[in-house]
Amino acid sequence: MKHPSSSVKLRKSGDRGQGNHGWLQSKHTFSFAEYYDPGHMGFRSLRVINQDRIKPGMGFPSHPHKDMEIFSYVLEGTLQHNDSMGNGKSLEPGQIQLMSAGSGINHSEYNPSKTKELHFLQIWIEPSIHGLKPSYTEWHPKFGEIDEKTLVISKDGRDGAALIHQDVEIYKVQLAPGKSTNHQLTAGRGVWLQVITGSLIFNGITLDSGDGASLEESGNIHIQAKNEEVAALLFDLN
pLDDT (0 to 100) of residue 147: 78
pLDDT (0 to 100) of residue 1: 46
- Hey, what amino acid is at 173? V
Residues in the chain: 238
Q: Is the dihedral of CA 166, 172, 178, 179 positive or negative?
A: negative
Q: How far is residue 140 from each of residues 2, 53, 162, 199, 231, measured CA to CA in Å?
A: 33, 21, 9, 25, 16
pLDDT (0 to 100) of residue 4: 62
Sequential pLDDT tens for the chain (238 residues): 455 666 999 999 999 999 999 999 999 999 999 999 999 999 999 999 999 999 999 999 999 999 999 999 999 999 999 999 999 999 999 999 999 999 999 999 999 999 999 999 999 999 999 999 999 999 998 866 667 999 999 999 999 999 999 999 999 999 999 999 999 999 999 999 999 999 999 999 999 999 999 999 999 999 999 999 999 999 999 9
Q: How far apart are CA 201 and CA 2, in angstroms?
A: 10
